[in-house]
Amino acid sequence: MTSLDRFLLTDRVAIVTGAGRGLGFEIARGFCDAGAHVVITGRNSETLAQACAELKANGGSADYTAFDIADRKASADALKDILATHGGIDILVNNVGARDRRSLDAFTDDEIATFMETDLLAAISLSRDVARSMKASGYGRLIFLTSILGTVALPGDNLYPVAKMGLTGLTRALAVEYGPYGITSNAIAPGMFATETNAHLATDAQMLEFTKMRVPLQRWGRPEEIAGAALFLASEAGSFVNGQTLTVDGGHSIRM
């Protein structure tokens, strides 16, 4: 195996949650380009179908399944179907993450519970269930999308950093628990990326000034720039990396 071959994912099966668009889609595209079969998930069947068609049009091997990650039964049923179809799962990317910018006083207890179910608890359950199949093969990669906002708090954005720090803790805990089975657990903490959701901000004059002041590379990240980090952690090239968080933010988090 050459050094470049170590970045390939030939014959690997990967699940990427929340991959109908944005960073999840770019990670799925990167995995397809590296030779993996990728199952993309999300709530919107139409969005997933379009994304899957694009992956296939570019020569990738992919399929999709639509379900709400916060619905435990739907998630378990989807996983059962994926395992029945593919026989095993080698890579899981927990990418789903909702955002709700409000003061804490504005949230009810039920709303807090729902938010945490989507952004944190679902990833715990899905990782546990997928890891059971990984144990049988002695190989696995668990990857979590956190955020640089897991360590930096903003006014009116209270629950998001709590969930992201929870994922960071989960990453480290599972690295210890599943490491003896040949399963690594790592996280990626993105900074400011110009995805479909916030592309308008990347071209806003005030935001551009802020970016030049705070991000050493003086720009927003391009969505496709997340794929390399995920590919490294998913491949043999990152086989001895475990329990770590790789920050991909153009240097934003190191500048005051």
Residues 6 or more apart whose Cβ sits within 8 Å of residue 108: none
Q: In which element (H, E) is residue 190 found?
A: strand 183-190
**Which of 228, 229, 143, 146 minimizes the C-alpha distance to 178?**
143
| Amino acid present at 194 | A
Looking at 1-90, which runs of residues are DSSP E strands? 13-16, 37-42, 61-66
Residue of 64, 139, 160, 181 marked catalytic: 160
Residue for token pair 């679902």: 122
Q: Are strands 37-42 and 13-16 parallel, antiparallel or unpaired?
A: parallel
Can you tell me which residue has the tokens 């395992």?
83
Told to judge if 64 belongs to the known catalytic residues of this protein, a careful annotator would answer no
Who's near 84: CB < 8 A, 6+ residues apart? none
The residues assigned a catalytic role are: 160
